[in-house]
């Protein structure tokens, strides 16, 4: 199979017929063998009924229905797990991503042997104050932190080699950073393509201003995970050991000085009256706690391997 198109959605019933027809026309015009995977992330409108009608209309349409709304990351993760196409393309269901971009993205993966191609909505039709400016600041921070020279890292329109999506785990709200996750797994051939952005035709956006705050917090998280996510002891254990040694040596020095002064009949104060004693004690306690945090982190990493964070209520055509 040439292409798997993965489309997460939440309450987008008004746009699904038009999106399906548009994607199908592009695929037929280019003679692609494809599958179109919708992931219904707990919609409360008639999205599921619309998708059922699309499955009857087109055998290439497949669908996953979640038990409830888990989030875009979990929806993409479920779609990635079941995608069989040589190239996997993700896009949003709100018609703001243009299916006419699919051949260009596909050709970049095939002809240029890229692992990931990220869309760049160079000209946007969003609110300048609430979306465009925060998005530019967010992408600037992401470039500086990740080292990836992408202008629009959060663009939903992306293309991947199949082995890339099978090698990464998307959870929490990490869908914004899939290129970074791919880079961390060794897929370094990452490109970018200017894509057409369209104004929302139906419904309203599902993401508020909080996504930018969450995005920056996730950026810090993924920066840490990229270095220490698989070996948390390398971070917590190192700092824990360092703080414990500093505290222990400080306490030992105070004890030695106390004994020396007593042996020389010199005036001295109780060790517990010395403020440095409490600094040394706090340092040893923090060092012990950090070391234990690293140890517990190692256990959690092993225990959570392969764990899913969503429940699939129903599937169609799989």
What average pLDDT does range 206-225 have in this prediction? 65
The answer to whether residue 305 scores a pLDDT higher than 60 is no
CA atoms in the 13 A half-sphere facing the CB of 40:
27
Query: Largest Cα–Cα distance of the chain, in whole Å?
Result: 98
What mean pLDDT is predicted for residues 198-209? 65
Give the pLDDT of residue 105: 97
pLDDT by residue (tens digit) across 85-128? Answer: 999 999 999 999 999 999 999 999 999 999 999 999 887 665 55
Alpha helices in 229-274 (DSSP H): 233-263
**Rounded CA separation 307/285 (Å):** 33
Whole-number Å distance between alpha carbons of 254 and 274:
9
SS3 state of residue 142: helix
Answer whether residue 206 shows pLDDT above 90: no
C-beta neighbour count of 10 within 10 angstroms: 21
Amino acid 190: pLDDT: 96
Query: How far is residue 129's CA from residue 45's CA, in Å, rounded to a whole number?
Result: 30
Residues 181-209: what's their mean pLDDT?
81
pTM for this model (two decimals)? 0.73
Looking at residue 229, what is its pLDDT? 65
Vertex 142 angle, CA 114 and 161, to 5°:
20
Model pLDDT for residues 7-57, shown as the tens digit of each residue: 999 999 999 999 999 999 999 999 999 999 999 999 999 999 999 999 999
Question: What integer pLDDT is reported at residue 201 of this predicted model?
Answer: 72
pLDDT, tens digit, for every residue of 171-184?
Answer: 877 888 899 889 98
Mean pLDDT along residues 54-80:
95
**How high does pLDDT run on average in the chain?**
87
pLDDT of residue 92: 94
Tell me if 9 sits within 8 A of 90, measured CB to CB.
Answer: no
């Amino acid at each position: 199979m040439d292409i798997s198109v993965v489309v997460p959605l939440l309450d987008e019933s008004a746009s699904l017929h038009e999106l399906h027809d548009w994607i199908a026309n592009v695929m037929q015009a280019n003679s692609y063998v494809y599958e179109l995977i919708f992931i219904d992330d707990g919609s409360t409108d008639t999205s599921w009924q619309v998708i059922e009608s699309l499955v009857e209309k087109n055998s290439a349409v497949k669908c996953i229905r979640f038990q409830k709304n888990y989030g875009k990351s979990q929806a993409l993760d479920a779609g990635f797990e079941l995608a069989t196409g040589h190239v996997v393309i993700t896009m949003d269901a709100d018609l703001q991503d243009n299916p006419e971009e699919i051949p260009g993205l596909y050709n970049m993966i095939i002809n240029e042997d890229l692992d990931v191609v990220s869309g760049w909505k160079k000209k946007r039709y969003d609110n300048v104050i609430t979306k465009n400016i925060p998005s530019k600041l967010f992408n600037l921070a992401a470039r500086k932190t990740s080292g990836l020279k992408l202008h629009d890292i959060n663009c939903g329109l992306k293309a991947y080699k199949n082995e890339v999506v099978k090698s990464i785990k998307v959870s929490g709200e990490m869908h914004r950073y899939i290129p970074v996750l791919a880079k961390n797994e060794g897929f370094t051939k990452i490109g970018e393509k200017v894509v057409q952005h369209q104004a929302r035709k139906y419904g309203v956006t599902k993401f508020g201003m909080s996504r930018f705050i969450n995005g920056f917090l996730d950026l810090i998280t993924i920066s840490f995970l990229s270095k220490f996510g698989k070996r948390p002891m390398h971070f917590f254990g190192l700092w824990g050991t360092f703080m414990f040694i500093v505290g222990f040596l400080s306490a030992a020095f105070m004890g030695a000085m106390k004994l020396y002064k007593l042996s020389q009949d010199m005036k001295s104060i109780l060790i517990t009256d010395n403020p440095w004693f409490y600094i040394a004690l706090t340092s040893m306690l923090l060092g012990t706690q950090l070391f234990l945090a690293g140890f517990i982190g190692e256990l959690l990493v092993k225990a959570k391997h392969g764990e899913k964070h969503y429940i699939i209520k129903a599937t169609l055509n799989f």
